[in-house]
Structure 1
Amino acid sequence: MTKRLKTILQYCLFLGLGIFLIWWSLKDLTASDRQEITQSLQKGNYGYIFPGLTVLILSHWVRALRWRLLMEPMGYTPSRANTFFAVMVGYLANQAVPRLGEVLRCSTLTRYEKIPFDKLLGTVILERMVDAISLLILLGLAMISQPYLYDSIIQTFFAGSAEKQESGSILWYFIGGLIVLLIVGGIWMRMTKRSLKDLLNATKKIGLHVWQGFITIKNLKRPWTFVLLTIALWSLYTLCVYTGFLMLQETSGFGWKEAITVLCAGSLGMIATPGGIGAYAFLVQKTMLLYQLNNGMGLALGWILWFLQTGAVLIFGALSLIALPIYNKNK
């Protein structure tokens, strides 16, 4: 199987998942739900779109500054503008193929700043690790600040199925997940004509990148600046969700606690499909059920937040593509 064909198949798989989730989130909406969504969107306060876009662009700028800090221990200090443009180009690429953006933003900065690609890739892996840890911390904050949230999750998603709440069921979920991983691994080896040794080598290579990432963060010249930028980044993401709440009358009463919960769910959706299409709105919809918001309004909120984030990426990602050769015309 050629690399191009494999990429196309992966894209079709992720896109198909997104389309399926769009259908799944719409299939149970009644005529009353659809009418309620239409009326709510018509009454929406869209004056918050510009502040929302401003918050998002500022968050992308903060991400670029934080990424730049990871390059300092290796002796590289790219311009802030080029780093920001590369981040936006990466986000733009992720709208088409998940995780392609991480590669493209590294290659973009390699081209204009002459930084070795493999070193940049290591910093991106570290950055994603820090994001994963940050997301877990936010999830913990959401559970601590909302002690009732665990019970709400059980009642919302597992009501009427008491046996699923038994501790023994966790073991079966683990076994099932392990079987799925083994099947996926077997299919991958067969499609790519790789052996078990190749799979182990790939795992070892990933582990090496992770270790290199830890070494980089250990040698940061300004570690507290990195921590502050990480806090600022996720605070801006939370503020963006809160801005989305203010756009709809039905959600304007929600606050920071709910915004953190929605942020955690939506972040997973952005990873699952190209640009989070379908998955983001679906997960926001299901999350808002925890706060007694009906399916229709939860879906409306999910699509507003998704359009806000996607619009920012499409507009400023395209502008970054145009700006890169202009900004670097003398190089």
Structure 2
Amino acid sequence: NLAEVGQAIVNANYTLLFLSMAVMFIHIFFRTLRWQWLLKPMGEVSFWPACRALLIGITGNTVLPARAGEFLRAFVLGRSTGLSKTGVFATLVVERLFDGMTVLMVLLGVIILGVRNEQLQTVGILGGIFYVGIIVGLVIFMTKRHWADALINKFLPGNLAEKILELLDGFSSGLEVLKNPGQLAMVTLYNMLTWIFVPVSMWLALLSLDFGAPVPWQAPVLMLPVMALGLTVPAAPGGVGLVQAAIKLTLDLTFVNLAVASNFNETVAAAGILIHITQFAPEVIPGIFCFMYEGLSTSDIKSGQQVTGESPATVATPAD
């Protein structure tokens, strides 16, 4: 009933919704600090250039296909700081590795603590295999880099081999943080702080609505991995449709044994709209202004997409 969906949105507690968006700014703050630590082996990067590039990348992921915002993010920071764009892109691979492992650990925790769903368990197992594969691949690359160099020099012509080796050098520079225990510990700390605030933001948005029963603690916690994993599937710009499906699945699972209001389904639909806004607006709206501040053009977007030759296989955060 669309009228009841609209009424649920009108009756929402907008103070809590604005608090939900404010919490997302804290998430952005810690996410930027985490990236600064990932970049530290390549050089010191100030907060605002890193934050602008981050927001531009998130905005790009929202409107561009194949998560091209990641390439744009590397391009923007490389252009503004002089760092190797390929090296910057490598830090994004490491960042997404942290993101993916965090999402899977949260999912595992919620499943262990009582949310039973065969599909979620399957996704968790497959995701775990995928990220273990990435870790193994990075370890091999970092410890046996000379294998790749030898193969490239043996089978490729000189000029092409030289260019590819330069790209690999740049990529290697972005992985240096993995060799420094102190820096890795700081990245891990900021990774935890980055992710804590996303379910807090979702929880505040859920509290703004009347489901007829108290919001279970599992709802925002489970919503984090379900939405993040859902956004890895190609979809409409901004994840429209997928976000709403992820929210509905989460709320159906977590409210299943509770006495809910007669308009529960309409309230869930309202939650899909409001949570989407509270998660995306704090990043995409500033990202548009950052895009203009950096003076980017369509040709810059194309240049960003050429930073590396392939698309990053990643888990998205709910807001990008």
**Cα distance, 1:48 vs. partner?**
1.9
Deviations 1:176-210 (A, max 9, x none): xxxxxxxxxxxxxxxxxxxxxxxxxxxxxxx9999
Q: 1:315: Cα distance to partner?
A: 1.6
Higher helix share: 1
What amino acid sits opposite 1:279 in the alignment? L
Q: Does 1:93 align with 2:60?
A: yes
Shift of 1:279: 0.5
Tell whether 2:50 aligns with 1:83. yes
1:69–1:220 Cα contact (<8 Å) kept? no
Q: Report the CA distance shift for 1:121/1:214 in structure 2 as closer, same or farther (over 3 A).
A: closer
**Cα root mean square deviation, aligned:** 3.0
Relative to 1, partners in 2 of residues 1:286 and 1:219: Cα closer, same or farther, differing over 3 Å? same
- Flag the 1:258–1:132 CA change in 2: closer, same or farther, 3 A: same
Residue number among 42, 56, 60 corresponding to 2:28 in the alignment: 60
Q: Which residue is 1:266 aligned to?
A: 227
Structure 1, residues 236-264: CA drift from partner, whole Å, max 9, x if none? 11111111111112177214322110111
Output aligned runs, 1:1-331, within 5 Å: 31=1, 34-74=2-42, 76-97=43-64, 98-145=66-113, 147=114, 149-150=115-116, 153=117, 216-219=177-180, 221-250=182-211, 253-272=214-233, 273=235, 274-290=237-253, 291-292=255-256, 294-324=264-294
| Stretch deviating more after TM superposition (285-294 or 231-240) | 285-294
TM-score (normalised: structure 1):
0.66
Post-superposition CA distance 1:131-180 (Å, at most 9, x none): 000000110111122x2x11xx35xx8xxxxxxxxxxxx9xxx9xxxxxx
Aligned AA (1:133): M
Partner of 2:129: none
- Aligned-pair CA distance for 1:309: 2.0
**Structure 1 counterpart of 2:21, one-letter code:** L
Percentage identity across aligned positions? Answer: 23
In 2, the alpha carbon distance for the partners of 1:96 and 1:284 equals 21
Following superposition, the deviation at residue 216 of structure 1 comes to 3.2
TM-score by length of 2: 0.68
Distance 2:203 2:73 in 1: 29
Query: Per-residue deviation at 1:314?
Result: 2.7
In 2: Cα distance, 1:256 partner to 1:58 partner: 21
Give the length in aligned residue pairs: 243
The 3 A distance-change label for structure 1 pair 315 and 214 is closer
The alpha-carbon deviation at position 95 of structure 1 amounts to 1.4
**Residue range with higher mean Cα deviation, 107-116 or 92-101:** 92-101
CA distance in 1, matches of 2:174, 2:104: 19
SS of the equivalent of 1:271 reads coil
Unaligned runs of 5+ in 1: 1-30, 158-169, 175-206, 326-331
Alpha-carbon contact 1:107-1:117 (below 8 Å) kept:
yes
Q: Indicate conservation of the 8 Å contact 1:71/1:77, yes or no.
A: yes
In structure 2, distance between residues paired with 1:126 and 1:275: 23
Task: State how far apart, in whole Å, the 2-side matches of 1:136 and 1:111 are.
Answer: 34
| Change in 2 beyond 3 A, CA 1:209/1:238 | farther
CA distance in 2: counterparts of 1:48 and 1:230, whole angstroms: 25
Residues 1:234 and 1:127: Cα distance change in structure 2 (over 3 Å): same
- Matched to 1:84, the amino acid is C
Question: Please, which runs of 5 or more residues in structure 2 have no aligned partner?
Answer: 127-167, 296-320
Measured against aligned partners, the alpha-carbon deviations of 1:43-84 in whole angstroms (never above 9, x if no partner) come to 11111232222211221121111111111123x111111000
Do the aligned partners of 2:87 and 2:172 also contact (CA within 8 Å) in 1?
no
Distance 1:109 1:57 in 2: 20
Query: Judging changes above 3 Å, is the alpha-carbon distance between structure 1 residues 295 and 284 closer, same or farther for their aligned structure 2 residues?
Result: same
Q: CA deviation at 1:41?
A: 1.6
Letter of the structure 1 residue corresponding to residue 248 of structure 2: Q
CA contact (8 A) 1:286 1:298 kept: no
Cα pair 2:61 2:68 within 8 Å, conserved: yes
Aligned-pair distance for 1:313? 2.4
